[in-house]
Amino acid sequence: MKSINLNISFEQYAGIQELSEKDSILCQLSEQALSTSYSPYSNFKVGTAIRLSSGETILGSNQENLAYPSGLCAERVALFTIGATYPDAVIESMAITAKTDAFEILHPVTSCGGCLQVMAEFERKQNSSIEVIFYCLNGEVMKIPSVKSLLPFAFVEDRLQGSKA
């Protein structure tokens, strides 16, 4: 038997004012994306801003549907927009934030497992890390250097890509 430990490293900040200007702006854009959230059932708004290597920023917000689970998380809305509109784009960084009127969110909200898997696929496809910033409105920030840190056991099966002959 072998015992293996996995560790992740991330940076923690008291607020976005401690981030670089580029990252602070990305967090502010994720906050802006909250305004397009369609979340009448959960009243839990999530906004995502993704910075591409071209400098362009793509926004996404969660979109609910009465027929659960037909809705889509903010991260996947933005990522699938990139996949459909900018298929060869390289993603540098993404910022994610959340808001609800039901209670105060005191710590950054992290992505669900489905979103992490999609994020891992984009990171794998572009063969370079995607930095992830989880931003709590008026509060702390977590900055993770790579999606691999968040989902070390992402589903990967190279044989599903078919032959490359």
Distance separating alpha carbons of residues 37 and 34, to the nearest angstrom = 5
Q: Which of 31, 64, 75, 123 does the annotation list as catalytic?
A: 75
The DSSP symbol for 38 reads: B
- The yes-or-no answer on residue 121 being catalytic is no
Residue whose C-alpha is closest to residue 79's, from 117, 118, 37, 110: 118
Distance separating alpha carbons of residues 103 and 114, to the nearest angstrom = 25
Distance separating alpha carbons of residues 88 and 123, to the nearest angstrom = 12
Examine residue 145 and say whether the peptide bond preceding it is cis (omega within 30 degrees of 0): no
Give catalytic residue positions.
75
